[in-house]
Amino acid sequence: MEIPGELALTRDPIAVAPPWRGRRPPVRHLVEALLARDGDRAANLCDRFLARARTRMAVFADLLQPALYEVGEIWYQGRIKLDDERWAAALVEHLVEQLPPTPSGSPVPRGSRCLLAPLPGDRHLLGLRMFALVLEDEGWEVEVVDVDVDTSNLAALAERVRPRLVGLSAGYLPSPRTAAQVVGAIRGLGIPVLVGGTAFNRSVDLWQRVGAVGHGADARVGAVLARRVVRS
Ligand code: B12
C-alpha cells in the first residue's frame, strides 16, 4: 500500500507486541503498525481481523476506532508528535476505503433513507464515513452531506430529503448550543436525530444536552439504534 509522503520510521514509541493470533481485535498491534507508518502491516491486520469477524462494522468499531483513540492517548502522554497522529489517521482513512462491503443478511426495509452530516463547523469526517458505510451494509440508503455544503441549514435539507433518520457527527464541538439548535430544528420536523463522534464520546451527557434521541458510541451501537428508529 502506498501513502504519499515520507515513509521513514524515525522511532518506535511503544513496546512491540508478539504476533497477533488471538480472537480479540489486534488493537495494540495495529497501533504499533500505524505509528511505524507501516501501511502493509496495518492492512494485513485489518484483513485478518475481517476474516475472523466477517463484518467491516466489527473492523471499524472493534479495531480501527479503538486504535485511533489509543493513538490519541499516546499523543496526550507526549510520547508521539502531532504529525504521527495525523499519519495514523491518514492510514486509517485509507484502510477504511480498502475494506470490502459486508452486507447484512437481514437488511432494514427497502427504501429506508437516512441523512448523515457533520455538525456545523466540524471537519472530522472519518468517523461519519465509517458510520455511513456500516449503514449501507445494513441496507440503508445513505445520503451524506459534504462538509462544503452549508450545514447551518441542515433542517431545510432534511425537510427536502425526508429521511427516516438524521445522524449528526462531531469530533470537536465548540458550541453545544448551536448543535442543540440544529438538532431541535430537525426534530421539529418529526425526524429523529442520532449523534456520534469523538466529541460525544468524551462528554457523557452531551448527546442529551443537544436534544438527540440517542448516541452511538461506535458504528455498531449507532446501527442498532438506527434500526430501532425504523421499527418504532
Ligand atoms: C484526524 C483528526 C483530525 C483531522 C480530521 C480529518 C478527517 N478527514 O476527518 C483534522 C486535521 C481536520 C482535525 C482538525 C481538528 N481537530 Co482533530 N483529530 C483527529 C484525530 C487524530 C482522529 C479523529 C478520527 O477520525 N477518529 C476516528 C473515528 C473512528 O472515530 P469517531 O469519529 O469517534 O467515529 C466512530 C464513532 O464515534 C461512530 N460515529 C462517528 N460519527 C457518528 C455519527 C453518528 C450519528 C453515530 C450514531 C455514530 C458515529 O462511528 C465511528 C466508527 O465506529 C483525533 C484524535 C484521535 N487520535 O482520535 C483528533 C481530535 C478529534 N481532534 C481534536 C481537535 C481539538 C481538533 C482541532 C480543534 C485542532 C485545532 N486546534 O485545529 C481541529 C478542529 C477542526 C474542525 N473545525 O473540526 C480533538 C477533539 C477534542 C474534543 N472533542 O474534545 C481530538 C480528540 C484530538 C485531541 N487533541 O484531543 N482533526
Show which of 48, 63, 98 is a domain's final residue: 98
Q: Report the CATH number that the domain containing residue 219 is assigned in CATH.
A: 3.40.50.280
What is the domain count for the chain?
Answer: 2
Residue 13 lies in a domain: no
Say yes or no: 70 and 137 in one domain: no
The cell for 126 is: 472519518
* Residues linked to residue 194 through DSSP beta bridges, in sequence order: 167, 214
Say yes or no: 219 and 117 in one domain: yes
Using CA positions, which residue lies closest to atom 60 of ligand 1?
Answer: 171
Q: Which residues line ligand 1 (CB under 6 A)?
A: 60-61, 64-65, 68-69, 71-72, 85, 89, 121-128, 130-131, 167-169, 171-172, 194-199, 201-202, 216, 218-219, 222
Show which of 67, 98, 129 is a domain's final residue: 98
**Whole-angstrom distance, CA of residue 46 vs CA of residue 27:** 10
Distance 202 CA to ligand 1 centre (A): 11
Using CA positions, which residue lies closest to atom 3 of ligand 1?
Answer: 124
Using CA positions, which residue lies closest to atom 50 of ligand 1?
Answer: 219
Show which of 70, 98, 126 is a domain's final residue: 98
Q: Which atom of ligand 1 is nearest to the CA of 215?
A: 47
Residue with cell 492517548: 73
Residue with cell 452531551: 206
Q: Report the CATH number that the domain containing residue 71 is assigned in CATH.
A: 1.10.1240.10
Residue 53 lies in a domain: yes
This prediction has a pTM of: 0.93
Distance 124 CA to ligand 1 centre (A): 5
Pocket test for ligand 1, best of 79, 124, 207 (most atoms within 8 A of CB): 124
Say yes or no: 94 and 118 in one domain: no
**Whole-angstrom distance, CA of residue 141 vs CA of residue 211:** 24
**Whole-angstrom distance, CA of residue 232 vs CA of residue 220:** 19
Say yes or no: 210 and 117 in one domain: yes
| C-alpha atoms less than 13 angstroms from C-alpha of 198 in its C-beta half-sphere | 17
CA distances from 42 to 47, 80, 83 (A): 9, 18, 18
Residue with cell 521513514: 8
**Residue 43 sits in which domain range?**
27-98
> pLDDT per position in the chain (232 positions), as tens?
444 333 333 344 455 666 677 778 999 999 999 999 999 999 999 999 999 999 999 999 999 999 999 999 999 999 999 999 999 999 999 999 999 999 999 999 999 999 999 998 899 999 999 999 999 999 999 999 977 777 778 999 999 999 999 999 999 998 899 999 999 999 999 999 999 999 999 999 999 999 999 999 999 999 999 999 877 6
